[in-house]
Amino acid sequence: MAFSRIKLFLAALASASVLAAASPAGRFVPIFDGVSLKGWEGNPKLWSVEDGAIVGRTSPDDPIPANSFLVWRQGVLDNFELKFEYMIDGGNSGLQYRAFEKPREWGPHILGGLQADFEAGEQHTGGLYGERSRRILARRGQKVEIGGEGKPEVVGSVGDPVDLQKFIDLEGWNSFHVIARGNHYIHKINGHVMVDVIDNDPAAPRSGLLGVQVHRGPPMTVKFRNIQLKRLEMAVRKKVVFIGGIKSHGFGSHEHAAGLKLLMDALGENLPEIHSVAYLDGYPDDPTALDNADAVVLYSNGGLRHPWLGAIRQIDQLAARKAGIGAIHYSVEVPEGEPGSKLLDWIGGYFERWWSVNPHWTLDGVKLAENHPITNGVKPFEVNDEWYFHIRFRAGMHGVTPILQAVPPGETMNRPDGPASGNPYARAAVRRREIQTLMWASERPGGGRGFGFTGGHVHWNWAHPDYRKLVLNAIAWIAGAAVPEGGIESGPYSMDDLLANQDYMPWSSGNYDQAEVERMIQGWSK
């Protein structure tokens, strides 16, 4: 079984090098397959697929109480271009971008945010509307600047609104092109600019959901087809894409989603020059997920269940354009051979079965790299975790810098030999009291950075300020952001913070003593 999976992976790898050159980042990618609503979510009474188009239809016999949306659930939009074709019969509609939702307050399938408007009439098509927020922001033909308090001011013209309406087919298909780069939005229909907006409102969304609308009121039918998305560079900010693994090890362990959300919050609150997004439960379905990433960080299961085994082309594209690549805990393990060689290229080292080992032990006498941004402001710490060691590194440690090191105690070799528990090579290293590298940083020969962090099994350890700071610094470093001299400060985090977003019911297993964990977290938070 394992052998056949590796053979399949190697076959995919062989074809990946051919495909990579044909699929550059920043290309337009279809996000509607033309035959189903896969990846989209909405009220099934309102939405269907007919003749290669998404169809939204309201009925006089069952009117809707509020505008309703079909929401794209495979990702969120930050800087992008989006092209689609639409046709409308009655009423008005639009495309929501960088949108938000409040399902408990508004109900399901209702969005607020920026909307590229169009209608069956001649007044609103091409304009920019703030659904459930700032209302009309720009009318067709206007060049607008939105002030710090969210008030729009017309500062110029992109054309006469009556003349621009003549380019719109009220009975047929029209091509709509939305561009959102930072705080600059442009709407085009059939190749003609309809609005040009600069949004200086600090509360304006910089990322959010995508959705298409049916409007309450008189019956209407709207159709969308050929929906294509292209990601754009973030320009003044660095984008980090987090990929989280599936639910796996039980309460308090390998809490991929909870751990990544905590790291994302810490970065968002303390290093605004980094923009973070997360895709959980394995490799993203969003075909554009990594296209404008400055770095990608994986925290997931590994080995034969490693999410990157089926995504070599995408990760190679990241490496080719010098984006950062990071791996936390189990995600540093891949099968040896070609998969291991790829991880050596990307991050400088990997966990190799029958060579590396995975005991639980408490660090003592920690050695941190000197004069490296990842260790800025980090003090040596003692934390118990499943610290992997005897890692397979690039030959001669070429381009690899040990970041966190310690000497494993003899009891780490108490288990019998096994594919991860022990081997003669690791036993000899422990007998010789060799210092082991538990976290490392790498620089790729052609440019680009990577890191591997072998901790991350025990979820509670994210409450430790130095443990957390080490990983936050590493994420910023591989993304090309400046790491503050004192490191990235964050926290403190409480027990409630650590319990949030976990995959399992609190204290559902006997692996952790609640009182002991609470004392530990309180001690670290002082």
Mean pLDDT of 86-111: 96
- 208-214 and 221-231 as β-strands: parallel, antiparallel, unpaired? unpaired
pLDDT (0 to 100) of residue 20:
32
pTM of the model: 0.92
Sheet of strand 112-119, all strands in order from the earlier edge strand to the far edge: 40-41, 68-77, 208-214, 92-100, 112-119, 128-131, 135-138
What average pLDDT does range 402-414 have in this prediction?
98
Q: What is the residue type of 289? A: A
One-character DSSP codes across 408-432: PPGGGG-SPSBTTTB-HHHHHHHHT
pLDDT of residue 452: 98
* pLDDT computed for residue 26 by the predictor: 66
Separation CA 87–CA 89 (nearest Å): 7
Q: Give the tens place of pLDDT for each residue, 440-462.
A: 999 999 899 999 999 999 999 99
CATH class of 238-352+437-525: alpha beta
Give yes or no for residue 338 having a pLDDT over 70: yes
What integer pLDDT is reported at residue 136 of this predicted model? 96
Coil, helix or strand at residue 3: helix
Tell me the residue length of the chain: 526
The answer for residues whose C-beta is within 8 angstroms of residue 371's C-beta and 6 or more apart is none
pLDDT above 90 (res 45): yes
Segment (H or E) for 90: none
- Asked whether 37 and 55 are in contact (CB, 8 A), the reply is no
Same fold flag, 29-231 and 238-352+437-525 = no
Q: Which of 169-178, 308-317, 392-401 has the lowest average pLDDT?
A: 308-317
- pLDDT interval class at 526 (50, 70, 90): confident
CA separation (Å) from 206 to 76, 210, 362, 481, 526?
Answer: 10, 13, 42, 19, 35
CA atoms within 13 A on the CB side of 365: 8
CA distance 64 to 91: 13
- 15 pLDDT above the threshold of 80: no
Tell me which DSSP letter residue 280 carries. -
What letter would DSSP give residue 287?
Answer: T
How large is the average pLDDT for residues 39-50?
Answer: 97
DSSP 454-487: ---SBGGGGGSHHHHHHHHHHHHHHHTPPPPTT-
The whole-angstrom separation of Cα 503 and Cα 456 is 15
What pLDDT digit, counting tens, does each position of 226-267 carry? 999 999 999 889 999 999 999 999 999 999 999 999 999 999
Q: Round to whole Å and give the CA distance between 68 and 94.
A: 11
Half-sphere exposure of 197 (CA within 13 A, CB side): 34
From residue 202, give the alpha-carbon distance in Å to each of 147, 183, 198, 297.
Answer: 9, 10, 12, 28
CATH fold, domain 29-231, is Jelly Rolls (2.60.120)
CA terminus-to-terminus distance, the chain:
50
- Cis amide linkage into residue 409, ω under 30° from 0: no
Give me the pLDDT at residue 235, please. Answer: 83
Mean of the pLDDT values across residues 40-65? 96
Q: Where in the chain are the domains?
A: 29-231, 238-352+437-525
Confidence class of residue 525 from pLDDT cuts 50, 70 and 90?
A: confident
- In angstroms, the CA 178 to CA 488 distance is 36
Asked if residues 516 and 458 have their Cβ atoms less than 8 Å apart, the reply is no
Closest of 256, 237, 466, 289 to residue 374, by C-alpha: 466
Per DSSP bridges, beta strands 221-231 and 238-244 are: unpaired
* Distance set, CA 321 to CA 310, 315, 396 (Å): 20, 10, 25
**DSSP secondary structure of 72-89:** EEEEEESSEEEEEEEEEE
Percent of the chain with pLDDT over 90: 90
